[in-house]
Amino acid sequence: MSAIVLSTLNARYIHSALGLRYLMANMGELQRDTQLLEFNIDTRPIDIVERLLGHQPTIIGFGVYIWNVAQTTEVVGLIKRLAPHVTVVLGGPEVSYEWEQQEIVGHADFLVTGAADKSFARLCRRILARDRPPTKIIESPMVPVTELALPYGLYTDEDIANRIIYVEASRGCPFKCEFCLSALDKTAWAFDLDGFLQQMQRLHERGARHFKFVDRTFNLKVDTSIRILEFFLQRMDEPLFLHFELIPDHLPEKLKTVIKKFPAGSLQFEIGIQSFNPAVQTLISRKQNNTKSEDNLRWVRNASNAHIHADLIAGLPGEDMESFARGFNRLVELNPHEIQVGILKRLRGTPIIRHTDEFKLTYNPFPPYNVLCTDRIDFTTMQRLTRFARYWDMVANSGRFTSTKAVILADNPFERFMALSDWLFDVTGQTHKIALPRLFELLYEGLKACLAADTDSALQALLNDYQTSGLKGHPRFAPDRLQRGQEIKGGTDTSKIAQRQARHAKGP
């Protein structure tokens, strides 16, 4: 039994809740009476409720995010029906803003908005002392990071062996990109670097080898970035994998010198381009030197071993299909390892809402709150872009179709891949659950049918990718081109590294 249970629903098992661990680390004397329980969004809500109530808690605190709000709403509703005496406390970015009309807030007893690292423990003390606050909404002022207990000792051995280990050397962001919740921050706050590196040393000693930094601006203070990178360089006697989010136009020479020292497969950079259109950048308060960003992307791609995951957003106010296509082609020319095509989402509390009327931005009222149409991109076209993004992940970002990708993107990449995307949906009617052997067949037919690719070139590219895909047996897309009885044996699945990198890049 635990007086307090901290819980959340992760998108997948491999993810771990850094926010819950911060709460746990800062519970003070209540920590011994607190249990941390993580679930996955694909677990049945009724089963989650059974597990939670099995601990006979007095208080349950939930971390609520865009990816779990629907399932968590059902969990909280069931708890209040089965055990109304249990106090339910909510927190997290999804419920910290515009909470007035949210069903889940109506079910709960308390809502802690903002950074709850310290205020959740204070609320629990009052509830347990039968001194319940008279107001449901508990606003949390920003706590200096120097006053926070660090959570890294709360990663279990199972976490270290099987999950992504999330860490942060700083919080906040000085930039004001309006689609991002970090636009509400006034600046970035750095944790004590010596203390942080001591925690990283302990994690490393316990066997942690995959570290995902959640800092919004890892290269904001270059001297700090260099010291962190050098810390891990000194421990490269065993393979490490590190993920950082970089500002694209800020890569001075002394930082490049350190980046070049990392071996292949050890370093991944998530680099947000979002849009190359200067007018759109101005509209959304994004400061970005496009020329420097391109130069830096080109340098990272050609002069280092780092894996580049570049982000581009469709549906931004003021951007039409032609502008987005130009930006996409511009990014393809820079040849990052992955291009994450995202559809604009209206996260609660973000300043992007100020453009809604002027640019006729219509958003999905349900998670993930993606934009459905704008004054420049109608609903049907936005649906095509959404499918384009999904198929791009399946083909270009998967790491399985290196040779085929070169054939697809031979000329005018956006136009050609959009044509392939439209054809794939016309033929299959689906964007998920396409088995890999079937995808090979579809690409072979699609290359010929809608891209007029040379049959021999398409076949050879697909055969090359098939041999490194891990698949065995005859490739059904071209049985007539193989000698009778010939069988292609499954080779090394070169996409596994790409898949691991993608898990770090996309996060929960």
On whether the CB atoms of residues 138 and 179 are closer than 8 A, the answer is no
Tell whether the model's pLDDT for residue 478 goes beyond 90: no
pLDDT one-digit tens code per residue, 363-403: 999 999 999 999 999 999 999 999 999 999 999 999 999 99
**pLDDT at residue 485 in the model:** 40
Q: Are 400 and 436 in contact (CB under 8 A)?
A: yes
Q: What is the pLDDT, as a whole number, of residue 474?
A: 80
Q: How confident is the model at residue 499 (pLDDT cuts 50, 70, 90)?
A: low
The answer to whether domain 4-143 and domain 164-377 are alike in fold is no
Domain 4-143 has CATH 1.10.4160.10: no
Q: Domain extents for the chain?
A: 4-143, 164-377, 399-508
The per-residue pLDDT for range 408-428, each reduced to its tens digit, is 998 899 999 999 999 999 999
pTM (global) more than 0.95: no
Architecture of domain 164-377: Alpha-Beta Horseshoe (3.80)
DSSP characters over 363-417: E-SSTT-BEEE-SSS-HHHHHHHHHHHHHHHHHTSSSS-HHHHHHHTSS-HHHHH
Backbone angles phi, psi at 386, to 5 degrees: -65, -40
Give the list of residues 6+ apart from residue 339 with CB closer than 8 angstroms, or none: 310, 311, 312, 328, 331, 332, 392, 396, 397
What length does the chain have?
508
Phi, psi of 269 (to 5 degrees): -115, 125
Query: How many angstroms separate the CA atoms of 224 and 251, rounded?
Result: 13
Strands 165-167 vs 210-213: parallel, antiparallel or unpaired: parallel
| Proportion of the chain above pLDDT 90, given as a percent | 87
Instruction: Give the chain's mean pLDDT.
Output: 93
Neighbouring C-alpha atoms within 13 Å toward the C-beta of 34: 23
116-162 pLDDT tens trace: 999 999 999 999 999 999 999 999 988 999 999 999 999 999 999 99
- Predicted local confidence at residue 503, as pLDDT: 53
